[in-house]
Amino acid sequence: MTKTVHHLMICAPAMAGLAGQVARALAQGRDRLAEAGYGAAAIGPSASAQIHIDETLIGRVPQGLAGFFPQVGGRARDYAGRLGGPVGRLVITTLPYDLYYPMMWRFLAHRRAVQPFAEMAELLVARERGWVELVSELSAALGARETVILPAPVRGEEALAALVPGASLPMPPAAAQENVPDTGLVMLQRLYRSGATIAPRQIQRLMQFHARQPQPAPLAAFSALEAARLRRRYQADLATLAARPGVRIGAAPELVLAAE
């Protein structure tokens, strides 16, 4: 009996709803997916599905800030075992380090007390582990035949073209993103550090109020020199990965056009 070949899209945690948008497209386009010869789609690992969307496989946001997802190999091996079949395409979204670390910090700061970003920046810039190590461990653990890396910003159409080429699924609009102003994060951090418990509706009202206030310099940002160093490293990492057999950077242009 031939085992199902699985295709995975791994979204980087905290990446502004892309996983949800792609999941909705797959759910709404089940008929077109079947017509193109694909099996069912699922969120997470499922032996009964062929297409998988996941934004927690590489780890959670705290693990990303603490060590750039150091447990990814073991998590991916467990994931592969739950699929029960080989992995064909592995699609993974990536972001430049100078953008991704602040994004992860803001994601956590919206939810709990965190160390000030300024106290973390030097360590983050000096960290050696990054996308090369993560993608290598992920691909090896899953045994992917092909790896497609999608550098941010990633449009939903591009993600679908990379994950299910030939399916031509319509893409639903992206969900509106909540405005999280820095002055609101400052207030949240004060409340969290005082031990306060804040209801989601209270947080929403707080953010709506602060969205109308003047904003200071970004709470989570690298210096110009740090950001330039991190951008150079990100470009070098993409070049390293692109030179490897079976790895492609970006969905092929003709596939993206066909998906639109």
Which two three-digit tokens encode residue 237? Answer: 């990492």
Count: domains in the chain = 1
Residue 213 lies in a domain: no
Residue span of the structural domain in which 88 resides: 6-112+128-176+224-259
Cβ 148 vs Cβ 251: under 8 Å: yes
Residue 190 lies in a domain: no
pLDDT tens digit string along 122-170? Answer: 999 999 999 999 999 999 999 999 999 999 999 999 999 999 999 989 8
pLDDT at 257: 42
State the Rg of the chain over Cα: 19
The rounded mean pLDDT for the chain is 90
Which two three-digit tokens encode residue 251? Answer: 């969905």
Residue 215 lies in a domain: no
**Mean pLDDT for the stretch of residues 68-80:** 95
pLDDT at 2 over 70: no
Cβ 17 vs Cβ 107: under 8 Å: no
Residue 122 lies in a domain: no
The packing angle between helices 224-242 and 117-126, to 10°, is: 40
pLDDT confidence tier of residue 96, bands split at 50, 70 and 90: very high
Q: What's the order of all strands across the beta sheet hosting 146-151? A: 41-43, 51-54, 6-10, 87-94, 146-151, 247-249
pLDDT at 172: 87
